[in-house]
Amino acid sequence: MQKYITDFRDFLLLERSLSGHTLEAYVRDVQKLTEYLEISGINISLDQVTDAHLTAFMQYLSELGMSAYSQSRILSGNRAFFKYMQLEGMMGKDPTELIESPKLARKLPEVLDYPEIVSILEHIDLSTAEGTRNRAIIEVLYSCGLRVTELTSLKLTNCFFGEGFVKVVGKGNKTRLVPVGRDAIRYVNLYVTHYRSQMKVQKGNEDIVFLNRRGACLTRVMIFLIVKEAAMAAGIAKPVSPHTFRHSFATHLVEGGASLRAVQEMLGHESITTTEIYTHLDRDYLRQIVTEFHPRA
């Protein structure tokens, strides 16, 4: 069994170019299966594992009290292993094909309503360079629905404000064009023209839009702090992060009647399934409207 696992690790490293952390996680997932087979007295090799063995393994993980998320992750690692075994001709059939992943509870993300967003924006002090930059940052987060890393890596040469778009480099270096609103354009231009243009920019950051006071690219942590402080200044009690503005962007579009496919494109979701969470939010909104305004609700 160990030889199969060692060869699998080499495959992940050489063929899939996975990070060390991901690689070791996959290997541990397969090792959990081998441990189960040994504990259960099932004296077979990994190339003899069937869907029945895997079904019993998943039941075993559930009885251990593992969360559905942990079970799903372990199954994912074993799926990768058995696909490798099949690819290498060591198994005729992938035993994971008929195994269903545990159902994961879909936690609806925290969303700000529009008055809360306006309040956050209006409580930012525009008398300083940092304040103007922070206003521009939050305007862009909400206007474009960007991820934090997409915001920190946003380039001046990718801002096509005349056409009303920004080019965003998302996960897997995939690029997409996202419309940007007039207010966001206004505050970015204000920051770039009056403050950024006067800064001594560190080498390698010349094309980055948002910089810290030392002329370097802002970190993810810094964006979190900027957003948190802005929300606190506005007296927003609910937890607010940069991702909250992304969720709010998508939710407000869906509530306004935007097609899910268009929202998927703007968010950069690879699968429409990921975007479908906003239909749940929309249903909650519609239910709330009926409760508040329908005479027979």
Query: Pick the catalytic residue: 79, 196, 252, 269?
Result: 269
Longest dimension (CA), the chain: 73
Query: Pick the catalytic residue: 147, 196, 247, 252?
Result: 147
- Tell me, rounded to whole angstroms, the distance of Cα 180 from its chain centroid: 20
- The secondary structure of residue 219, as a DSSP letter, is P
Query: Pick the catalytic residue: 73, 167, 176, 243?
Result: 243
287 is annotated as an active-site residue: no
246 is annotated as an active-site residue: yes
Tell me whether residue 293 is exposed, middle or buried, using C-beta atoms within 10 angstroms of its C-beta: 0 to 12, 13 to 18, 19 or more.
exposed
Query: Pick the catalytic residue: 4, 26, 142, 278?
Result: 278
Residues whose CB falls within 8 Å of the CB of residue 262, separated by 6 or more in sequence, listed in order:
253
Query: Pick the catalytic residue: 53, 135, 246, 252?
Result: 246
171 is annotated as an active-site residue: yes
280 is annotated as an active-site residue: no
187 is annotated as an active-site residue: no
Query: Pick the catalytic residue: 16, 28, 93, 171?
Result: 171
Residue whose pair of structure tokens reads 């509870």 in the numeric block: 105
278 is annotated as an active-site residue: yes
> Are 80 and 26 a contacting pair, CB within 8 Å?
yes
CA–CA separation, 258 vs 13, rounded Å? 42
- Measured torsion, CA atoms of residues 16, 19, 22, 26, in degrees rounded to the nearest 10: 40
Q: Known catalytic residues?
A: 147, 171, 243, 246, 269, 278
